[in-house]
A = this chain, B = another copy of it.
Amino acid sequence: MLQKRIDDQPSISPEMVREAQGILHQHLKKVGLKQTAQRDTILRTFLDTREHLSTDELYRLVRKKDPKIGYTTVYRTLKLLAECRLASEVAFHDGIARYEHQYNRRSHHHMVCTDCGSSVEFFSNEVERLEQDIGRKYRYMTTRHSFQIYGVCEDCRKKNGAARVV
């Protein structure tokens, strides 16, 4: 299930969007912040993707819905969403922070093509178990982990052929 182009289909149902909005609103109230139209627009735009979005990419999408929303607001809202666990950062190690929505999704990991940047998601219970085991062993209270595999995907191998010498 490659991540290449799936922008078109909305990823989650209207009820889920409403529920996510509820989670955000509850979080805002809890930490004494205010509900705004911008924050809702950004959340909805974010939920409506299945990509691993950088702040800039999300900003471009948000701008289509409301051109008056600025980059800074997207940046800050993304942090808010991460705070209430609606978004989580994914590390692709390309120097850019990326987020994906974590709403009703099984924990998963990524394999990233170092040539074209496309990625595959995969699942592994072993990794979850390992977090528990290692944490217990060294007496850490673990909160999360990060696991990525890097390589070159089949398409890129075909395209490049012998052009990989440099």
Interface residues in chain A, defined as those with a beta carbon under 8 Å from any beta carbon in chain B: 89, 91, 93, 111, 113-114, 120, 122, 124, 126-127, 130-131, 134-135, 137-154, 157
Chain B proximity of A162: nearest CB distance (Å): 14
Q: A147-B146, A148-B146, A150-B145 are in contact. Are A138 and B126 (CB under 8 A)?
A: no
Verify A143–B134 contact, CB threshold 8 A. no
Bound together, the chains give a CA A89 to CA B151 distance in angstroms of 16
Q: How far is the CB of A104 from chain B (nearest CB, A)?
A: 23
Q: Given A91-B91, A131-B149, are A114 and B143 also a contact pair (CB < 8 Å)?
A: yes
Residues on B with C-beta less than 8 A from A143 are 114, 150-152
Nearest 6 pairs between A and B by C-beta?
A: A142-B151, A140-B151, A139-B154, A145-B149, A147-B147, A120-B138
Copies in the complex: 2
Chain B residues near A120 (CB-CB < 8 A) = 134, 138, 140
Q: A127-B130, A130-B126, A146-B146 are in contact. Are A141 and B151 (CB under 8 A)?
A: yes
- Contact partner of A140 (CB less than 8 A), chosen from B134, B146, B154, is B154
The answer to whether B111 touches A134 (Cβ under 8 A) is yes
Q: Are A111 and B91 in contact (CB under 8 A)?
A: no
- A145/B146 contact (C-beta < 8 A), A91-B91, A124-B130, A138-B120 known: no
Instruction: Quote the shortest CB–CB distance from A96 to chain B (angstroms).
Output: 12
Cα–Cα, bound, A153→B126 (Å): 22
Contact B140 A111 (CB under 8 A): yes
**A124-B130, A146-B93, A146-B146 known; A139-B111 Cβ under 8 A:** no
Q: How far in angstroms is the closest Cβ of chain B from A161?
A: 13
